[in-house]
Chains A and B, each alone.
Chain A
Amino acid sequence: MEIKVACEYDIVIARSAAKTEAKKLGFTIVDQTRIATAISELARNIVVHGSDGMVRIEAIEKGDCKGLEIWAIDRGPGIENIELALKDGWTSGGGLGIGLGGAKRLMDEFEIQSEVGKGTKVRVVKWMRN
């Protein structure tokens, strides 16, 4: 499932979709909330930097484990210093500055690629506990 993210209203749409998919897969309400919160942050990052992007939500499997994989991709300004961006308190978008780091803490897997002037790709995964 792909959701375009361009303006603020899209953030709510993206996180609701993620929550619904998580619920369908059988995630607990707490995990659904973690996922929705992480996606909200990633989608907000796209909007705040004024870039057009999208969020892709997909159910995945690794052996016996089921999980939810979400990509947040944009062609925005890119992040110059990823390490700095992941540190709490740093912000360039007027938020609380814990968006990316917080999203990382809420999910089980977190990958980020970014190039200044080209854009940013974030991949997060949450696995279901047995």
Chain B
Amino acid sequence: MGAINADEYLHLLRSMRNFVAMLDTDGRVEFMNRASSGYTEEDIEGEFLWESPWFNRSEESKEGVKEAVEKALRGERTEFEVTAFKKDGTPFPIIFNASPLRDDEGNIIGVVAEGKSITERKELEERLKETVEKLKASQEELSTPVTQIWEGILALPLIGVVDSYRAQRVMETLLNKIVETQSELVIIDVTGVASIDTEVASHIMKTVQAANLLGARCVLTGIRPEVAQTMIHLGLDFERFATKRDMQEGLKFGLEQMGYEIRRKDSDTQD
């Protein structure tokens, strides 16, 4: 394998994507691989790294870098996120890395400081966070569907795992919808809920009571055995809501409550 000469080493360093600086045993910058962020070698070389315009604009950055360099001079390597500053003052996040620079005998003769810009990574993180938020919101919309199935009648099919947070959101959505549509009957179908804990059961009770205050009656349908058990053990007040076997029965009940009579069209004819 051919040895590479000093010039080539220099080219190698200068072509690196990340930033590298060599500090002496005082922490002053002896060499940096390339100018970046608007600075030239003159701006930085000879300065203590933490006093250089990259970091001296923020006490936090300054202290962080100083500590890292001191640790490196004691033989300890550190890596952490810190804010650096471009020549025009714009801050940008970097991963900063300080390692001891040793000679062949292992003596510490300086510090190697590396910096890698993570602006792009941070932006991706932000976008990811936003996407997750949007997903959460649309999932919530899908999982707390309150539909008006008749004039004055709302249906709320609860599906899946209902935790305390979701129960809270469902309650708020339902109550707002009651006011919006001026509904007087709410059918809450829990066929899709395999089990509920006491906290969720009490949320449901709260929802029923609040709906009552807004002038709406509630019908619970599709209560599964486990849910029935929890409700009885809790001693819930069954005066407050009607219960029916399923959504169909619930709708029939609701319509009758509102004064409707359901007949087949041909049931009148008598020949």
Whether B151 is near chain A, meaning CB under 8 Å from some CB there, is: no
Which residues of chain A are near B165, meaning CB under 8 Å? 129
Q: Cβ of A28 < 8 Å from any Cβ of B?
A: yes
The SS class assigned to the B binding surface is helix
Count of interface residues, chain A, beta-carbon cutoff 8 Å: 3
Q: Does B172 contact A (CB under 8 A)?
A: yes
Task: Please measure, in the bound complex, the distance between the C-alpha atom of A30 and the C-alpha atom of B171, giving whole angstroms.
Answer: 11
Determine the distance from Cα of A129 to Cα of B172 in the docked complex, in whole angstroms. Answer: 14
Q: Which parts of B199-219 form the interface with A (CB within 8 Å)?
A: none
Q: What sequence of 0s and 1s flags, for each residue 142-176 of chain B, a beta carbon within 8 Å of any chain A beta carbon?
A: 00000000000000000000000100100010000
Minimum CB–CB distance from A3 to chain B (whole Å) comes to 29
> How far apart sit A19 and B223, CA to CA, in the bound complex (Å)?
39
- For the complex, would chain A's binding face be called helix, strand, loop or mixed by DSSP majority? loop
Cα–Cα, bound, A98→B168 (Å): 23
Q: Quick one: closest B residue to A29, CB to CB?
A: B172
Contacts of A129 in B (CB 8 A): 165, 168
Q: How far is the CA of A30 from the CA of B206 in the complex (A)?
A: 14
Which chain A residue shows the least CB distance to B164? A129
Closest to B171 in A: A30
Interface flags for A115-130 (1: CB within 8 Å of B; 0: not) read 0000000000000010
- Compute how far the CA of A30 lies from the CA of B167 in the bound complex, rounded to whole angstroms: 14
Query: Which residues from A are CB-within-8-Å of B168?
Result: 129
Expressed in whole angstroms, the Cα–Cα distance for A28 and B171 within the complex equals 13
* B165 nearest in chain A by CB position: A129
CA distance A59 to B247 in the complex (A): 45
Q: Which residues of B contact A28 (CB under 8 A)?
A: 172
Cα-based distance from A28 to B140 in the complex (angstroms): 15
Closest chain-B Cβ to A66's Cβ sits at a distance in Å of: 16
Taking the closest CB of chain B, its distance from the CB of A5, in whole angstroms, is 29
User: How would residues 19 to 57 of chain A score, 1 for a CB under 8 Å from any chain B CB and 0 otherwise?
Assistant: 000000000101000000000000000000000000000
A129 to B164, CA, bound (A): 11
Residues of A within 8 A of B (CB): 28, 30, 129
Chain B residues with a Cβ under 8 A of chain A: 165, 168, 172
The 4 sampled A-B contact pairs (Cβ below 8 Å) are A28-B172, A30-B172, A129-B165, A129-B168
